[in-house]
Structures are given as structure tokens and as C-alpha cells.
Amino acid sequence: MAPIKNTISNRFAILFIIVAAGFLYIAVKLCVIRYGESGELLKTDKFYNQTSDIIIHGNRGDIYDAKGELLSTTIVYHNVYMDFGAECITDSRGAKDSLNKYLPGLAKHLSDLFKDKSAAGYEKSIRTAFKTKDRNFRLCPVRIMHKQYLEILDLPFFTYINKGKKRSTMFREALKKEEETDESERFYPFGDLAKQTIGNRRTKGNATQRLYGIEKEWNDSLRGKQGKGVNILFAGRRINRCYEGQEAENGYDIHTTIDSRMQDIADKALRRKLAELEAATGCLLLMKATTGELRAIVNLQRNAAGAYSEQVNMAFGDFVGGEEVAEPGSTFKVPVMVTLLESGRINLDTQVDVEGGVVRIANTTITDDKDHLFPNREHYYVKPEEVIVSSLNTGISKLLWKAYGEKSEISKFYEQLFKTGINTDIDFRVSINNLKDKYGNNRKPLLIPESNKPGDYLKMAYGYGSMRVPPVNMLMFYNAIANDGKMVKPYFIKSLNKDGKAVYEFETEVINPAVCSPKTLKAVQTMLEKVVSDEHGTAHRTAQSKAVKIAGKTGTAQIHNRQMERTGLQATFAGYFPIHGEMYSAIVVMRGKSERMYGSAAAAVIKEVAEKIYANETTLSLDSLKTDSNDLKVPSKNGNAAQLKRAASALGIDIKDRTGGEWVRTVAGDNVINVNEGCANPLDAVRGMGLTDAVYLLEKNNYKVKLDRNAYIGMVKEATLTGKTVLLTLN
């Protein structure tokens, strides 16, 4: 029994030693982590027990367009470090060989990326860190974006391919990164596109600069909820931990109604016209008529270098600091006409005498520059339709005076006008830059003249008289005409989303279910159509399109400063057009000093936008491309009969040839080529031929060929013989 007992005791002793050695090894490792390899207590930020209470921010939400395209997002940055003292490197026998093999490629990539020093410089600093076993070597001199970080990871220094799969090298295991999400660094994939609406968010130090648009007005929703927690510094790595119940919440993603493709079309069209006219500012709004969803919001201003960028929110009422009176001009004639017809005090057959284009009412002279309409006429009677189609200041003023002015009942006119809803103060929750408080809030319509003079009321009829209507309000009214009389509020925030799902959705808000009666609506719609289609319409030359039916009203107004000094002209076109059964309304306003700044110029912008949107939204099926054979006329040239038959056979086209000649003349038929006659005389045969056949036939018959110096590529028109030389004239 004694030998067995000794054997068991020995085994337990060995097992105890092994277990004790294991615990001792663990204890030593903990001491290394606790006190460092040098044996001294770590007093740097690697000390794991250092903690501090911090505010932890949630991720800022993104902004999207109507189709899910990203308009604004936060960039995630990485601070990248290497731990050359990590065991994966120090315990590897091949570390130095791998470093020598792959370091040149890494050094060159870093040098090309940051351009702060040469590849040799990077290689030297990395070798030094490797030699000294630097535990916190900063590989990249500045923070980098996630895409750049992934590109670095794909380098052979960090990744190799084994059996078709990516594997990490020892250096990849020693790579460390700290993520830094800085909500002040926002990225806008479409650059300046719709910038005044989307906004901007930039910071310098602790100060926030250029905060406006959605980024400002919806800041609380975008930034989410702050949390509170602790920041643990462990072995050179930062770890944030939220306290239970005080977690940070990510911000909402905002989905807008803007269509990036339509926005781009509108931006380019307006930009071209502004440059052509050397205009100072311009805006364009495009809205879906039935819902009020704004598809495009363009605001452009010319800078000192002559380029255009989004600097002021003109569309919503910011007219370069509000220093200039923003009178709408003749586009306001339509709301006035609707009001007059709805009052019942005039009708479509009411006539007024515009007296040859110059009238005087209540000690106020009103003129029209319309010599083509009434040359040298003392009296010229017009009806409401012609007043709108030809945009007659005299006509609309006389109609207003006839309906209300003579009875001193202008206040009743305003009561009727306000029933339409045009004076609605729209809250867009988008800030306006550069407004000066002493001039008030330009976003609110001002329709009643500041003075009580009758002359100002008469000027108001054609959009003058110190009144103010922001473009978006004017668009809202014209959109009601397009939308069968229903006035809806324009909006551009569609929903607030969390984790890909809509949490809050915004729907169409009806301001007025009917701005006028169906009879008045139909009459005004006809007037607006004729503004474009009628030969006397003010937008006939620039807005009429073969692809899209456009209706609307032009407006031209003088711009005055507060001292009533003229500073330029304002051109406007407000209207609507259908795209595949869906109606869109739009308004363009441009300002500048050019004498070509007329409403018709603004109408040309709408035409370009309408046609390009129509082209982009049109999808043709293969069946729609099939042509009825009864309508097909096969084009053909005179020429060699054998070649003609060979080509026709390959194309599946019938040839009716009863002549039997070598050179023939052809006539296009319905899905057939008819050969009328053969041509024995070469000079007769070449007429109607292509140039190649004509030259071949003439030279074959021993003629010399010359071409008319003004000849173009085409069929032979004439063949003139002089001696043995034939001069060919082409179509």
C-alpha cells in the first residue's frame, strides 16, 4: 500500500505545482497591465481605472430627398494608431521580414494620401516605432474618413489573401482606431444644390457658424438626445459607457419632398438664364399641385466673381437683406381678376376703355407699353380675358375702379381677396438669412398699400404700390388654379424616421377648399392657357412647347430701394404644366439691371424645366415604338438595281421593279420601294443618286467628275456636262 500512496501523493503534488504556476502566470500578467513592463505605476492615459463623467451624444440624423437619396450626413472619422509592442508582433519571428517586405507599399500609400512627407519619411518613422516597440504610434497624422480607413486595411501590410479569402496579418491585429463622430462636420453629397433649404452646419472651435435651413430649424430632431456616462481609458483605448437609464438616443432622419433630379434640372435652367441676363438673384419653386409637396427649391445669387451660388432664401421672402421692396408685378393681376369675377360686380363680357394705352384715374396716370395692340387709337375696349392675356395695366385698373373704386368700397375688395387665402402666413420652420429686423419679416405677405391714396390701390391691381408677396405665396395661389380651386400649403418635410421607419409623417394641409367658383376657375384657367398659346399672349414666344402644355402669367416689375430709387427690374412667371397626368406648378423670379429682364424671360426657364422633366419622366415600351406599316414611307435613292435589291432583301423590304435596268430611279412607297424606270443615259441616271454611285457610274462611262465647291453631303441634285467633265451639285 505504501508505494501506491506515495504515487498518489506525488501526482497531487505535480498537479498542485501546475495549477499554482498557472495562477502565478495570471498574477504576473495582471501586474504588467497594472504597473507596466517597466515596473512603474502607469501614470499616463493607459491606466485603466481613470474615469470621468461625460456627456455622450447620439448620432446626428441624416437628411434625404423624396426618393431616398442622401442630401446631408455626418462623417465618421478615425484616429489610427499602431501598437508595435503587442504580442502578435513581439512574439513573431517573422515580424521583421514582413515589415521589410510590405512597409514600402504602406509608406507610399500614406505619402500619396496625406502629402505631408515622402514615402521614405514615413518608412523611417514606422521603422523607428517598430524598433522602440511604440505602444501608441500614430500611423495617420490626421483623422481620416471611414472609406480611407478601409483602403488602408486592404493594403498587403495589413491584409493578405489565402485560398480566396482575406486574412489579417500580425500588423492588422496591432492596429488600433478611435472613432470620432463630429456632428459639426456634415457632408452634402450634392454640394450647393438646395443648400439654402437643406442648410449648413459648420463649427470652428466651440462656436457654431453658418447654421441655417433644415439643419437649424430641425436641429433638436436631428441631434437626438444626449446621454450621460463614463469615459474609461484602458490600455490606451477610450471606451464610453452610458449609465443605465441615461442612454443617448440617435437623432431622427428627415425625409424631404425634394426630388434631386428635378432640383438639378431646375437649378441648371435658372443658372443658365441668370448668367445670360447677368442677373443679380433668382429663385425657382416647383410643386406637386395636388399635395403641395415642393419638388425643387432653387435660390441663386451672383457673387463678386460672377458665379452663382445659394446665398439667400429668395423663394421664401429674403430679398437681399429685405432692403428692397419686393413687389410682385403683373402676376398679381390674376388674384385680382379672380376676386373681381367672384364679386359678381363684373363678368367675362364687361368692357372697359383703355383709351389707347394711357388712362388717368383718381389723379393717377396708368400706362401700357402695348403699341402693337392699339396704335394711335383714342379708344380701345377690352374684356377681362384680353386684360390677362395681353397683361394690360390700364385694363385691370379700370376693372377694379369700375367694380369698387367708384363706390369707395376698396375695403370690401380686400375682404373678397383675402377669402382666397393668398395672404396666409406660411410657417416653414426654415430660417431666413440676412433679414434686418427694422424692415420687418419679409415672409409675411403685405397686400394693403402703406398709404390710403387711391392711386396706390390702382397700382396694387397690377402688382405695384409698395405691396409684397413672397414667391412661395404667389405659387400657392397659382397652384390652387391648377388644382381645381383647392389651395394647399406648400411643404418640404415629408417624415421623421427612426431605424428606417417613419415615426412622424406630414400630410397635405388644405388652406382653402375652393378659392373661387367653378365658373370663375374655368374662365381663369382659359386665360392662363392663352397667355402662352395666343399670339398676343405675353409668354407666347418663350413658353409655348410642342411637348408640354404650359399655362401661366408673366410679370415684370421695377425694383426700388427705400428711397424709391429704381435699382433694377424683376421678371416673374407663375404657372403650371402636366406631366403624364400629374400637374406641377412653378414660379420663377429673377432680379437684375438688364433691360431684357421681362416676364417672358422667366417663362423660358419654366419651359425648359417642364420639357426636361417630361423627357426624364417618360418611359417608352417596345410596343409603343412599333410603327404601323400603313404609315411607313421607305426612303430610298436612285442607284444600282442589284445593290438596291440586295439591301432591301436584308431589311425585309419589298421592291416592285418592272424595268429590268441596271441603273434605276426609285420612289418611296408604303413599306415598299417602287422602281419607276431604268436610266440608260448616265447623266440622267445620276440625279437622285448618292455620291458614291454617281462617281462610279460617270467614271465607268469615261467622264471626269468635279464637285461644286459649295457641295454638301447628300444626293446629286444636278449634273452639268462640259466637254467630258461633269460638274455635280449635291443637295
Query: Residue length, the chain?
Result: 731
DSSP state of 638: B
Highest mean pLDDT among 212-221, 227-236, 442-451 belongs to 212-221
Mean pLDDT of 641-645: 74
CA–CA distance, 32 with 411 (Å, rounded to integer): 90
Would you place residue 41 in the very low, low, confident or very high pLDDT band (cuts 50, 70, 90)?
A: very low
Mean pLDDT of 527-539: 94
What tens digit of pLDDT does each residue of 699-727 get? 777 788 777 655 555 677 777 777 778 78
Among 351, 423, 339, smallest CA distance to 387 is for: 351
Joined grid coordinates for residue 528? 392662363
Residue 687 pLDDT exceeds 80: no
3-state helix, strand, coil in the chain (%, to 5): 35, 30, 35
What tens digit of pLDDT does each residue of 327-343 get? 889 999 999 999 999 99
CA–CA distance, 165 with 24 (Å, rounded to integer): 39
Angle at 267 between CA 263 and CA 271, to 5 degrees: 175
Q: What is the pLDDT of residue 313?
A: 85
Among 723, 639, 727, 646, smallest CA distance to 679 is for: 639
CA–CA distance, 20 with 14 (Å, rounded to integer): 10
| Listed range (95-99, 494-498, 644-648) with the worst mean pLDDT | 644-648
| φ/ψ (deg, to 5) at 690 | -70, 160
Strand 654-657 relative to strand 672-678, pairing:
parallel
Residue 511 pLDDT exceeds 90: yes
Identify the three-state secondary structure at position 368.
Answer: coil
Residue 318 pLDDT exceeds 90: no
What tens digit of pLDDT does each residue of 576-634 get? 999 778 899 999 999 998 888 889 999 999 999 999 999 887 665 555 545 554 445 56
697, 703 in Cβ contact below 8 A? no
Among 697, 393, 389, 722, smallest CA distance to 552 is for: 389
Among 520, 464, 482, smallest CA distance to 345 is for: 520
What tens digit of pLDDT does each residue of 27-37 get? 777 766 555 44
Q: How far is CA 646 from the centre of its chain?
A: 52
Residue 89 pLDDT exceeds 60: yes
DSSP state of 316: G
CA–CA distance, 80 with 102 (Å, rounded to integer): 18
591, 566 in Cβ contact below 8 A? no
Strand (E) or helix (H) holding 496: strand 493-498
Q: What is the pLDDT of residue 182?
A: 44
Higher pLDDT, 322 or 525: 525
Q: What is the pLDDT of residue 515?
A: 96
Mean pLDDT of 206-227: 75
| Listed range (231-235, 314-318, 375-379) with the worst mean pLDDT | 231-235
61, 169 in Cβ contact below 8 A? no
Q: What is the pLDDT of residue 4?
A: 61
| Cell 432640383 sits on residue | 263
Q: How far is CA 243 from the centre of its chain?
A: 43
Q: What is the pLDDT of residue 450?
A: 64
CA–CA distance, 278 with 281 (Å, rounded to integer): 9
The half-sphere exposure of 611 on its side-chain side, counting CA atoms within 13 A, is: 13
Q: How far is CA 539 from the centre of its chain?
A: 26
Q: What is the pLDDT of residue 1?
A: 52
DSSP state of 630: G
Joined grid coordinates for residue 88? 502578435
Residue 98 pLDDT exceeds 70: yes
Among 284, 268, 417, 273, smallest CA distance to 340 is for: 417
Q: Rounded to two decimals, what is the model's pTM?
A: 0.71
| Listed range (348-357, 381-390, 562-571) with the worst mean pLDDT | 562-571
Across the strands, what pairs with 55? Answer: 228
Mean pLDDT of 482-491: 95
Q: What is the pLDDT of residue 256?
A: 95
| φ/ψ (deg, to 5) at 462 | -115, 25
Cβ-proximal residues to 430 (8 Å cutoff; 6+ apart), any chain: 197, 199, 212, 213, 214, 217, 313, 316
Mean pLDDT of 122-131: 92
Among 338, 516, 469, smallest CA distance to 413 is for: 338
Q: How far is CA 730 from the centre of its chain?
A: 47
Strand (E) or helix (H) holding 554: strand 551-560
